[in-house]
Amino acid sequence: MGACPAIAFFAQTRKDSLTMDSIIQYFETIPSSHRSLLLAGGITFFWLIESAVPLFRFSYHKWKHALVNIFFTLTTIIVNFAMAFILVGASSWAVSNHIGLLNWAPELPIMAYTIIGLLLLDLIGAYFIHWVEHKVRWMWKFHLIHHTDVHVDTTTANRHHPGESVFRFVFTTAAVVIVGAPIWMVMMYQAISVVLSQFNHANIQLPKRLDDLLSWVIVTPNMHHVHHHFVLPYTDTNYGNIFSVWDRLFGTFSKLDPEKITYGIDTHHSIPEYSHIGTMLKIPFGEYRAPVGAKFREGTPEQASQS
């Protein structure tokens, strides 16, 4: 009788291993069509939800607004597609030469290996580059195009200047090498990143208790919308993409009542600067503009308790 629990345990372990093997195999060879479907399907799904139960009832033409953001989504796809071979090569080189943190660690259970890898990819390839973009002026001038959106919704997720797409790709590639991530993990991370970014930009509001609970693990809409408030110090908080742990760990996590949030960026608030594609493409090549919204601030962010 005592052997039964042990047999059941090993049978379940074997089943879990087979399931994980299937997931790994899928992401190792994920077709481009599936990745495209994930992008389009995510936008469609959250678009329908925010149309039915929006956080803010914007007085704007939703399709006209979306077309601007879809243009930048397409440029992001083009940049990443054109340089995809670099990402694949970097992953292959790191794994075959045992380069990277995961390849130096003792043998880990596959689930622990996966979670640690995803966390590190998110830290270097998302949180860190995002933080750098807010601190380095020339990079900020590219990134602020993302912040110029005054009607943040799920289409805002991929509103990135082509120049920003390039240096985000560079940091993603660096993350792959530093982590030593196999290509299946890279593809898994990018798939999760696409969906979570669409989710946390979506014009929706979860029940407060649910949002507060989820925000201990992942970046939620309420959490990320604070980052899109138009003035400092809120703009320089909540940098996370998938996992919220990095903002909490590095002291950049903040809260703000959704009713007090005003989208956009205080330095670029004219209509051409947030809705005309040609004007936005030129912004990074103009003069740097220092933040001007200090007089509108309502104190400092409410820092999250770390206890």
Model confidence over 33-83: pLDDT tens digits? 888 888 888 888 998 888 877 777 777 778 889 999 999 999 999 999 999
pLDDT above 50: residue 217:
yes
Residue 217 belongs to what domain range?
60-303
Is 44 part of any domain?
no
Contact 178, 100 (CB under 8 A): yes
Measured CA to CA, the distance from residue 285 to residue 263 in angstroms comes to: 23
Contact 66, 73 (CB under 8 A): no
Measured CA to CA, the distance from residue 224 to residue 244 in angstroms comes to: 10
| HSE of 149, CA atoms in CB hemisphere, 13 A | 30
Question: What are the pLDDT digits (tens) for 218-275?
Answer: 999 999 999 999 999 999 999 999 999 999 999 999 999 988 999 999 999 888 999 9
The total number of structural domains in the chain stands at 1
Is 205 part of any domain?
yes
Is 225 part of any domain?
yes
Q: Is 240 helix (H, G, I), strand (E, B) or coil?
A: coil
Q: What is the mean pLDDT of residues 79-104?
A: 94
pLDDT above 60: residue 210:
yes
Q: Could you write out the DSSP letters of every residue in 16-27? A: HHHHHHHHHHHH
pLDDT in the model for residue 18? 59
Distance of CA 62 to the CA centre of its chain: 22
Is 48 part of any domain?
no
pLDDT above 70: residue 17:
no
205 pLDDT tier (thresholds 50, 70, 90): confident
Question: 55-64, 150-159, 168-177 — which is least confidently predicted?
Answer: 55-64
Percentage of residues in the chain having pLDDT higher than 90:
67
Output DSSP code: residue 305.
P
Is 16 part of any domain?
no
Q: Is 254 helix (H, G, I), strand (E, B) or coil?
A: strand
Tell me how long the chain is.
307
pLDDT above 90: residue 3:
no
Is 40 part of any domain?
no
| HSE of 22, CA atoms in CB hemisphere, 13 A | 6
Contact 301, 237 (CB under 8 A): yes
Is 10 part of any domain?
no
Is 174 part of any domain?
yes
**Which of left, alpha, beta for 180 (phi over 0: left; psi -120 to 50: alpha)?**
left
